[in-house]
Amino acid sequence: MISTETLHQSELTLTNRHPGTVRELLREHRTSRCHRIVEWLSAAFLFPILKGLLAVIEASKFLTVIPAPVWSIASMLISIAVYSSRMGWGLAVGFIMLLMIHECGHLLAARYYRTRVSLPLFLPFIGAVIDMKQPMRNAWEEAVFGIAGPVLGTLGACLCWITAGITGSFYFAELALLGFFLNLFNLIPLGFLDGGHVAVVLTRWLWIPGYLIMAAFAWYVHTPVVVIALVVMLPMALSVFRKKSPKENLYDRVRLGKRFAMGAIYLALVSFLACSMSLIFIKDIYPGLKEGKSLSLAAASASGKK
């Protein structure tokens, strides 16, 4: 193994840099590695810590003292503060607004089917969580609840894209790209993602390719939260190999016409989002980069891979 001192001397020989500069580079490398370790440990303990905190809060009836909107707004502000360290305040605020529009789609679907749900709780690097106060009655309602978020979220991203086209704003182009990616990622047919809810009305076997897609994404971006999510969702993905209970068979019983309709909507939405991401990058993002504009999304991604 090459020692740090050997690396230090080689750097001096090849680049003829001042020793202080090389020491700073090595120090920065060690610091980024420490940050990476802390990020992995935080992700590993994030889910049990959050579960424990929610259990304590519910047991102490603390949630009844503070109104639900206060919890939702406070979590939103905390998420903005955390995201701003990666992508800047402007993009962080825009991203949370797009996420809120996405979650409003779920709330509208729940209200339509008169299903009691909580207001969204925003969690940094996870997204947002809506607590189901009562279960959905059948797979069709669950699929509508799942697809409603990406549909409304896609409309919000389209508004950003239209604004970018009218004003020539690189910021709104970035925001549109981020919004399209957010909704496309959520349509991966796996577990508690929106695509996982849609898959229930189509076939639960879609959870297997969905798990492979998530695994490929985790390998590419090296994001701890995605890796932990893979571990958490593995039992759900493997559950397709066991025989369904009579209650599950009754839950999944949906007319064939509705299955085809939901499948068509799902495929159309995935295709639109994938094409829109490509078009906006070619039409708006790439020309902006050639003009010397910096991509905040790329900077955030790069800082996450250190």
* Digit-coded pLDDT (tens) for 18-30: 444 545 554 554 5
Picking from 29, 46, 65, the residue at the C-terminal end of a domain is 65
Q: Is residue 296 part of a domain?
A: yes
Q: Which of 45, 65, 85 is the last residue of a domain?
A: 65
Q: Are residues 38 and 148 in the same domain?
A: no
Comparing 91-105, 156-170, 213-227, which segment has the lowest mean pLDDT? 213-227
Quick one: pLDDT band at residue 230, thresholds 50, 70, 90?
Answer: confident
The Cα 238–Cα 218 span in angstroms is: 19
Q: What local confidence, expressed as pLDDT, does residue 277 receive?
A: 92
Residues 48 and 164 in one domain: no
Q: Are 285 and 189 found together in one domain? A: yes
Residue 193, domain extent = 137-304
Asked whether residue 49 is assigned to any structural domain, the reply reads yes
In a domain, 217, yes or no: yes
Any domain includes 120? no
Residues 57 and 151 in one domain: no
Regarding whether 146 and 37 lie in a shared domain, the answer is no
Report how far apart, in Å, the C-alpha atoms of 66 and of each of 131, 133, 261, 277 are.
Answer: 17, 18, 42, 40
Q: Is 12 inside a domain boundary?
A: no
| Domain contains 110 | no
Report DSSP letters for 160-184, one per residue: HHHHHHHH--HHHHHHHHHHHHHHH
What confidence category does residue 299 fall into, taking pLDDT thresholds of 50, 70 and 90?
Answer: very low
- pLDDT value at residue 125: 77
Mean pLDDT to the nearest integer, 49-56? 57
Choice between 173 and 42, residue whose per-residue pLDDT is larger = 173
Which residue would you say has higher pLDDT here, 8 or 89? 89
Segment 25-41 mean pLDDT: 52
* Same domain for 267 and 173: yes
Regarding whether 55 and 145 lie in a shared domain, the answer is no
Distance of alpha carbon 215 from alpha carbon 230, whole angstroms: 7
Domain boundary among 65, 99, 123: 65
Does one domain contain both 299 and 151? yes
Judge whether 97 and 114 are in contact, CB under 8 Å.
Answer: no
pLDDT for the residue numbered 305: 41
Number of domains in the chain: 2
Domain match, 178 and 266 both:
yes
Considering the domain architecture, whether residues 184 and 41 belong to the same structural domain is answered as no
Whether residue 246 is found in the same domain as residue 152: yes
Does a structural domain hold residue 90? no
Percent of the chain with pLDDT over 70: 73
Q: Would 226 be classed as within a structural domain?
A: yes
Does the pLDDT value for residue 112 go beyond 50?
yes
- The answer on 279 and 166 residing in a single domain is yes
